[in-house]
Chains A and B, each alone.
Chain A
Amino acid sequence: MRRSTLIGGSLVVVFFLAAWLIKGAGASGESPYYSAFLITLAAFLTLAVFSFLYADNPVYKFAEHLFVGVSAAYWMVLGFWQTLVPNLIPRISRALSEQLELEYIDELWNVLYVIPVVLGILLLLRLSRKLGWLSRYAVAFIVGTTAGLNFIAYTRSNFMAQISSTFLPLVGDWTSWAAFVDNLSLSATGPLALLMANIVVVLGVVCGLIYFFFSREHSGTFGMASRLGIWILMITFGASFGYTVMGRISLLVGRMTFLLRDWLGIIAS
């Protein structure tokens, strides 16, 4: 490690230690120094990640590597306590179930629950060079289940439900021609706006799908529909982009609020 890195790192540590002690001295509550430590730690990590805006540096790398380790363990622990234990223990051990205060499920089927344990252990063998091939049984099970579940879920909700929702009555709340013409206005809640919205949805879906159909040359009427499909898709991408920008900026505002209010106390709560 370079000398300048060590000096810079030491300065950062001293600064945040001082910030912790000052915050702890001014805090109230049951354990002021512990809560001050947590807030200072969060502030340090926030600023460490922001430091990447200047350049890739050791402080950023520290936060990045810590995040990798912490998040891997976090999801493992949650998976263990919230999926493995409640689904497996009540079926394989009465004693353990009582110890963990889980209701034991006494069924003939319980013996089948050895299968996922065996397959899980086979999956872990992937770490071994010699026995790694055994993990393909677990992978086969995972892929089979995913394929089966996706086949049903996508057919039902992403294919059939989407098509059926596209078959819309173009004019909502239809009573008569006279009523329709009388209410014609450029109001956002008027029948004309609804008519336009529904026409765009129906035409947009058809034209969007035509754009994705590559088995025929996109020329003539088909080409025009395909071009309209591109425009609809461009609006979709623009909307998604706009929403992503707004989402990221709102996260940035959140982090700034944390730094200025919770850590430094500059702005009022």
Chain B
Amino acid sequence: MNRTLPFLLTFIVGFTIVIATFSPPLDRLAVDTAVFFSIIAVFAMILGGGNLVKINLVKITRRQRDWQFAIVTLVGFFFVLIIGLFKVGNPGGVTGQVDAPGTPFFDVYTYVFVPVGATMYSLLAFFIASASYRAFRAKNREATILLIAASIIMLGATPFGTMLTAWIPDSLDIFEVPNLHFFLMSSPNLAGQRAIMIGIALGVISYSLRVLLGVERSHIGKDGG
């Protein structure tokens, strides 16, 4: 019973959305179900926040390794939560837009969230350089194709690439680096992406059907409460 009712819920909700696509009178139900989904997703975010607090509190109380940094996480978390939920310093008050420019919440986004996020990603530029060294060694035919494609793509996106083949006459301009870049992106790359997308779609479609028909029930958990 503990697994049957959740499975029925999955079945009914999933097939309501599928059937609503083919049946306009049910369209409203599908729209409402999608809104219900976004509301529950917010509760999932709250659950994530609660879990973060729980884990960090345990870390602090048990004096686990690097427990001092758990305090930093909690201070950052509660600071942003308070200024965001209560719209502290928002010129529009509680009815104002939460991320309006000039509010402390906006400042946290601009001067903490964005710099750290962007720097974390830019840090990957250094690691990707060493990865390139390993990936771009022309060990065999496939690796050579990868190397040539990546080099043309990178060169084609820079002024240096344009300069390199600017001498080629117009009648042979297909061999200019920017044009080769465009060709690679719009033909073989498109074909490869499309093959991958079709493969993924087949996987998602079959997995969705397995879930809706109850063949796959791991998300419901084990019996016994």
Residues on A lying within 8 angstroms of B by beta carbon are 1, 38-39, 41-43, 45-46, 49-50, 52-53, 61-84, 87-88, 99-101, 109, 112-113, 115-117, 119-121, 123-124, 126-127, 133, 136-152, 154-155, 158-159, 162-163, 165-166, 185-188, 190, 193, 196-198, 200-205, 207-209, 211-212, 229-249, 251-252, 254-255, 258
Contact = CB atoms under 8 A, between A and B. Distances in A.
Interface of B: 2, 5-7, 9-18, 21, 28, 32-52, 54, 66, 68-70, 72-81, 84-85, 94-95, 98-99, 105, 107-126, 128-129, 132, 135, 141-143, 145-154, 157, 170-176, 179, 182-202, 204-205, 207-209, 211-212, 219-221, 225
Contact of A72 (B77, B145, B202): B77
A235 B81 contact: no
Contact of A117 (B39, B110, B124): B39
Contacts of B72: 62, 65-66, 69
B119 A238 contact: no
Nearest to B86: A77
B83 to A, nearest CB: 8
B10 A201 contact: no
A145 B99 CA distance: 29
A46 B111 CA distance: 10
A148 B16 contact: yes
B contact patch SS: helix
Given A116-B40, A151-B205, 6 more contacts: A45-B112, A46-B116, A80-B85, A99-B94, A109-B28, A126-B47
Contact of B194 (A62, A162, A187, A247): A162
18 contacts: A39-B111, A41-B111, A45-B119, A50-B119, A82-B98, A88-B39, A113-B39, A127-B50, A140-B9, A141-B40, A143-B219, A151-B209, A152-B21, A198-B187, A202-B191, A208-B195, A239-B150, A248-B128
A199 B107 CA distance: 52
Given A148-B17, A238-B150, A46 B192 contact: no
B69 A187 contact: no
B39 A38 contact: no
B98 A81 contact: yes
